[in-house]
Structure 1
């Protein structure tokens, strides 16, 4: 069940990243066509994109820390450890 949630979460994040990339491409294209009139919107899109990337980094650090705690608390020869390691080896 959690792997389904993880995949769904990953899919939403990929969609959000793609959406920011499309907005950024459109803003850059518009700037190239019109000059400086759209710099504010391009700046806003860049800021939103940077903030989103920072948020993803914070989430990754949090998950990494939680994983370290989990790995330290389980017996490395247990079935749970094998399942966890197999999940970590998946893409």
Structure 2
């Protein structure tokens, strides 16, 4: 199943599609805008983009989304109101 991907990574916008199974996400052909990014924001953006460009496993637990790459790195995201 393909879903639309739109995200703000810190300095740049990411867009594309996501192929989703029950346990994995892949984002073939996603693209970003090309704004300069520095400091801690650049580090966070690099982590986000590196994770989203890999094939990742995902789990959802209530308001928490965990994305893990095969190398064991990834993102742990929490939804807040």
**TM-score (ref. length: structure 2):** 0.30
Report the structure number with the largest CA radius of gyration: 1
Whose relative contact order is higher, 1 or 2, with alpha carbons under 8 Å and at least 6 apart?
Answer: 2
Q: Which has the higher strand share?
A: 2
Q: Which has the higher helix share?
A: 1
